[in-house]
Amino acid sequence: MLYRDLAAFFERLEGTPGRLGMTAILVELLAKVQPGEMTAVVRLLQGAVAPDWEGLEVGLAEKQILKALAMAQGSSTKSAEALTALQTLYHETGDLGLAAEAVVAKSQQRQTSLFGASELTVAAAFAGIQAIARTTGTGSQEAKQRLLSKLLLDASALEARYLTRMVAGRLRLGVADMTFLDALAAWRLGRGVRSVTDMEDAERAEQEALRAELERAYDLRSDLAVVADALASGGLDAVAQLGVAYGTPVRPMAAERLKTLGEILTKMEGRVAMEYKYDGLRIQAHVSPSASAPGGTEVRLFSRRLEELTAQFPDVVADLKTAFAGQSFIAEGEAIALDKEGRMRPFQDVSRRRGRKTDLDAVAKEIPITLFLFDLLADSSGSTMAKPLVERRERLARLVGTLHDRIRVSTLEEATDEKGMEMFFDKAVEEGAEGIMCKDPRAPYKAGSRGFAWVKFKTDYTEALVDTLDLVAIGAFYGRGRRAGWYGAILMAAYDDTAGVWRSVCKLGTGFDDATLETLKPRFEPHLSAARPANVDSEMEPDVWFQPAIVMEVQAAELTLSPIHRAAWGQLKPGAGLAARFPRFTRWRDDKKALQATTVKEVVRLYETKG
């Protein structure tokens, strides 16, 4: 497949706001992909070089990309005049991709007539981008620039737009993972794309069954490329064989919210397993015999975002190796910093470890971590996720035992009445937890899903304020007065997982101290969008738009009907959506991806249960 054909699909996707329209375009694209090309096409579609947990990034900043553009148009990277002209063009377009497109179009006006259209293949484009990402060491920036300039020399103007956005980390076509799975199912069935309401019952059931099997494989492997490649090369049998793999993170299960303990008890049919809700960093630990060192033990740690954290927690790795030498299991837990008296320290203390690359041993001594394991996803017998929670917990307790003081099983008790739940909740808060997790003891572990098998109940629920919301930034407003030169407020949104769209919920301008305000522009700069992204729904127009990427925790006084904000538009009242009233920023949720943020459905449920 030629890269120019893929770029044409990208352009169509970029201009298509609806999920059904995107799905139809993706089905058309999949029909043109050869089986051996599937991984490259899916990676390029996602704007990724490798799965999240491999941590492989292109590593080219704006300045280096502009220098590569200068090289591609025949200018010296040391030419101040050429770089100034490119900077001006970039600021005029507001998009590195559009700037690259203009540069290449101008430089190739004569070449196109002489040599014809570009023949850059998808395989060559992907290999070139991978080569840029894997170039490291002394002189790597200059080498990366040369590799990119070579790609741009082989590219047409449209191809240059998407190649440049890809290496800048700003492709973001708005294709949600679930939309791609819908397209895979429709492509496999070969009946085109229609709304489920327009299908016959048998047709709908067949598509939903296939879609569920694809999602099951994705939940276990966390990689759309692996699922698509299996389907393309081996059909449904190959997809069915995709299971849990050590060293590959499972998409984490998530919790719902309910307002009262009574509602939770009713939802779980009178029997609830409760555990402390630790305010720590969620970690998925993979422990297995080492393939490279006979007799050794390999440990890999992954975050809720599926990023690898192994190097950032050398003490946890050492503890797991000591406690579980030669064993195999996958377990989830919370990494907690405890003080000398054994009380839980704030989340901020643990988060200092995340993303750190230097002084790890010193920080580990300063902030020692205790890992509270709360679920078992696999052991030496294989996956345990289909088994009920009570059995998974029994296996986990036997596995952990009392082997190590810093590797423990989370505190858990069962209750069959509200009084017992209240007593456990009070005990949890007294010991420093932020609340409790209530779980159905009969339920399996459903990777990647959010449901009422798990319900969180926090201290916020006992106050007048609603629970905190994990919202996604979609734009910003410039500050005035003392905030001049900074972003003064951020436009926040909740995720509509039915439509694959982020819908506005509030304008957030409080809770920021001056130090935080100063960091807003550089933090959001990689996610700037020249126009409103196709997967964003907002009546309010910010001064700048962002691609949905950064999650922020927001505390609000209440949820209210709004004629401006678009979350749940028209669901509760014609011409109105839901808004968070008096929102206040509380903390960054760097441990969550945008797709893991609060959904519109959750916002609706919180509104309906208020008071």
**8 Å CB contact between 345 and 337:** yes
- Three-state DSSP at 369 gives strand
Phi then psi dihedrals of residue 463, to 5 deg: -110, 180
Structure tokens belonging to residue 36: 């051996």
Residue 475, H or E segment:
strand 469-478
DSSP letter at 291 equals: S
Going along 511-576, which residue ranges are E strands? 528-529, 536-537, 544-546, 551-555, 558-562
- Which amino acid is located at 573 in the chain? K
Say how far residue 132 (Cα) sits from the centre of its chain: 24
Residue 220, H or E segment:
helix 201-221
Phi then psi dihedrals of residue 225, to 5 deg: -65, -40
Active site residue 277: yes
Burial 326-353 (b: 16+ CB within 10 A, else e): eebbbbbbbbbbbeeeeebbebebbbeb
Phi-psi region of 382 (alpha: psi -120 to 50; beta: other; left: phi over 0): left
Spatial separation of the C-alpha atoms in residues 127 and 139, rounded to whole Å = 20
Phi then psi dihedrals of residue 172, to 5 deg: 35, 75
Selecting among 144, 277, 439, 456, the annotated active-site residue is 277
Spatial separation of the C-alpha atoms in residues 114 and 280, rounded to whole Å = 61
Count of Cβ atoms closer than 10 Å to residue 603 Cβ: 25
Spatial separation of the C-alpha atoms in residues 591 and 589, rounded to whole Å = 5
- Three-state DSSP at 447 gives coil
Q: Measuring CA to CA, how many Å separate 372 from each of 281, 304, 376, 389, 577?
A: 10, 15, 12, 16, 40
Spatial separation of the C-alpha atoms in residues 144 and 136, rounded to whole Å = 9
Q: Whole-angstrom distance between the N-terminal and C-terminal Cα of the chain?
A: 58
**8 Å CB contact between 546 and 566:** no
Count of Cβ atoms closer than 10 Å to residue 311 Cβ: 12
Q: Which residues are catalytic?
A: 277
